[in-house]
C-alpha cells in the first residue's frame, strides 16, 4: 500500500513539473493558433474568389466566346 502511495506521489510531482513549462507556453501557443487561423481564413477566402471566377466562366463563358458567337450570328444574317 505504501508503495502505491509513493508511486502516486512521484507521478503527481512529475505531472506538476511538466505542467509549469506548459502553462508558460500557452501564450505562445495561443498566438501561433491565431496566426494559423488567420492564414487559413485568407487561404479559404482566396480559394472562394478563384472558384467564383472559374464558375463564372463555366456558366457564362468568356468575353471572347461572346464576341465569337456575335460574329457568327452576324455572318449567318448576311
3-46 residue pLDDT tens: 778 777 787 777 666 666 665 566 777 888 888 888 888 888 88
Whole-model pTM?
Answer: 0.37
pLDDT for res 59: 63
Tell me the longest C-alpha to C-alpha distance in the chain.
Answer: 106
Mean pLDDT of the chain: 74
Q: Which three cell numbers stand for residue 6?
A: 509513493
Q: What confidence score (pLDDT) does residue 56 get?
A: 65
DSSP notation for 13-77 = HHHHHHHHHHHHTHHHHHHHHHHHHHHHHHHHHHHHHHHHHHHHHHHH--HHHHHHHHHHHHHHH
Domain ranges of the chain: 2-77
Amino acid at each position: 500500500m505504501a508503495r502505491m502511495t509513493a508511486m502516486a506521489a512521484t507521478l503527481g510531482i512529475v505531472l506538476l513539473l511538466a505542467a509549469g513549462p506548459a502553462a508558460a507556453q500557452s501564450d505562445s501557443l495561443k498566438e501561433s493558433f491565431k496566426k494559423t487561423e488567420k492564414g487559413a481564413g485568407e487561404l479559404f477566402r482566396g480559394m472562394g474568389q478563384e472558384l467564383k471566377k472559374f464558375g463564372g466562366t463555366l456558366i457564362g463563358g468568356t468575353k471572347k466566346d461572346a464576341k465569337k458567337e456575335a460574329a457568327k450570328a452576324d455572318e449567318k444574317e448576311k
